Amino acid sequence: MPENTSTSEDLNNVNPLQIIAIADAAFDLLDKALVAIDELKKNGAVITPEQQLALQAKYESLINRADSQFSGDHWKIDPPPAVQSPVIAPESD
């Protein structure tokens, strides 16, 4: 049975603790998403006035704070790392 070695080769170049941290964070997000999906299914009957009010408040908050919503450090695009040109020693005569 052919073995896909590319994944293990790629991962071998990364600190295992970093991989664990990344996977933990991703699974944490996924868990929360799945819980939310379950809640939506359970509450599928009627969206209550309270839930509607909460969504409206969230929407108003978003549009009223539009500038700050996109201003955190994680929203900044870092320039690509500068490429250092090789140092050329002056030719001696």
Residues found near another protein in the complex (CB under 8 A): 4, 6-7, 10-11, 13-15, 18-19, 21-23, 25-27, 29-30, 33-34, 36-37, 40, 44-49, 51-53, 55-56, 58-59, 62-63, 66, 69-70, 72-77
**Residue 44: CB minimum distance to another protein, A:** 7
**Residue 53: CB minimum distance to another protein, A:** 5
Cβ neighbours for 51, distance < 8 A, ≥ 6 positions apart: 43
Q: Which of 32, 33, 11, 35 shows the shortest CA–CA distance to 22?
A: 11
Measured between alpha carbons, how far is 6 from 12 in angstroms, rounded to an integer? 10
